[in-house]
Amino acid sequence: MNFRYEEYPFELFSVSHVVAVIVSFGCMIGLYVFRDRLSGSGKGVLKWLLVVLLVLSEALFQVWYLLNDQWDVAINLPFQLCSISLYLCTIMLITKNYRIFEISFFASMTGAFIAIVTPELFFGFPHFRYFQFFLAHLAIVISCLYMVWIEGFTLTFRSMVRAFIALNLIAVIVFMVNRLVGANYMFLSHKPYNASPIDYLGEYPYYLLALEGVAVILFSLLYLPFYLFKNRKSGGNVNT
């Protein structure tokens, strides 16, 4: 539970990282394979398990910083994209609000999913932060897939547009927070310190414009399966 990076170094695509990625993909595949077997009480158990995992992972993260006297407004406020996704997913699961689902899905399946593959993580296995990081991000992704595969929610082209606009509005707020507290939430002030796909998008502030284009591409790819297959399940209150 300490903050000594050198004792638990994280290495991108190391054995422990690859194992975490494999386990994450295995959980996603498992959810899809057993989706039809989850009904009634089983569905409710999974939903509340995800809520508990989301809340617990965030609470433990904050407590860990507090116990080590490292809590800082420039680090611990919930303004990273994945932190925002975590809170949105928690509300989404509890309320089944379709508008929140729209934003959560596109934000989570870009931010949290990519974070699993290329994490900005400084503590490797078997440090607490290693487990907390991958558990939190996997819970975010699984929550969104749960809403689609288990609850039957679907997406429209307007969903993609609304999510894109909402995330840009959130980014404006986060940008102002960054200026006020000297933070780098959503990487709006500078690139991540760890290697990431953002490294290929140019220098500040040009990579921010490039990220807009990347978001459009990723959002379109995420929407494509819904467009092609029309998502036969329509259990959610699907609006356009």
Mean pLDDT of 70-92: 96
Letter string b/e over residues 137-160, b meaning 16 or more CB atoms within 10 A of that residue's CB: bbbbbbbbbbbbbbbebbbbeebb
Q: What is the number of helices (H) and of strands (E) in the chain?
A: 8, 0
Q: What's the pLDDT score for residue 56? A: 97
Mean pLDDT of 22-37: 95
Whether 236 is in a domain gets the answer: no
Is residue 33 exposed (0-12), middle (13-18) or buried (19+ Cβ within 10 Å)?
Answer: exposed
Residues facing residue 61 across a β-bridge: none
Using the predicted structure, report yes or no on whether residue 237 has a pLDDT greater than 60.
no
CB 160 within 8 A of CB 219: yes
Q: What's the pLDDT score for residue 37? A: 86
The SS3 assignment for 203 reads: coil
Whether 34 is in a domain gets the answer: yes
Whether 240 is in a domain gets the answer: no
Share of the chain above pLDDT 90, in %: 78
Whether 235 is in a domain gets the answer: no
Q: What's the pLDDT score for residue 232? A: 55
Greater confidence (132 vs 197) lies with 132
Model pLDDT for residues 111-159, shown as the tens digit of each residue: 999 999 989 898 999 999 999 999 999 999 999 999 999 999 999 999 9
Mean pLDDT of 172-189: 96
The domain total for the chain is 1
Return the DSSP state at 201. Answer: S
What is the reported pTM?
0.90
d(CA 219, CA 102): 11
Sign (positive/negative) of CA torsion 189, 190, 192, 197?
positive
d(CA 10, CA 121): 7
Greater confidence (166 vs 196) lies with 166
126: cis peptide before it, omega within 30°? yes
Is residue 239 exposed (0-12), middle (13-18) or buried (19+ Cβ within 10 Å)?
Answer: exposed
Q: What's the pLDDT score for residue 36? A: 87
Q: What's the pLDDT score for residue 3? A: 77
Give the domain range for residue 102.
5-229
First CA to last CA across the chain, in angstroms?
46
Whether 234 is in a domain gets the answer: no
Whether 58 is in a domain gets the answer: yes
Using the predicted structure, report yes or no on whether residue 88 has a pLDDT greater than 90.
yes
The SS3 assignment for 9 reads: strand
d(CA 210, CA 107): 17
Q: What does pLDDT average to over the chain?
A: 91
Q: What's the pLDDT score for residue 42? A: 86
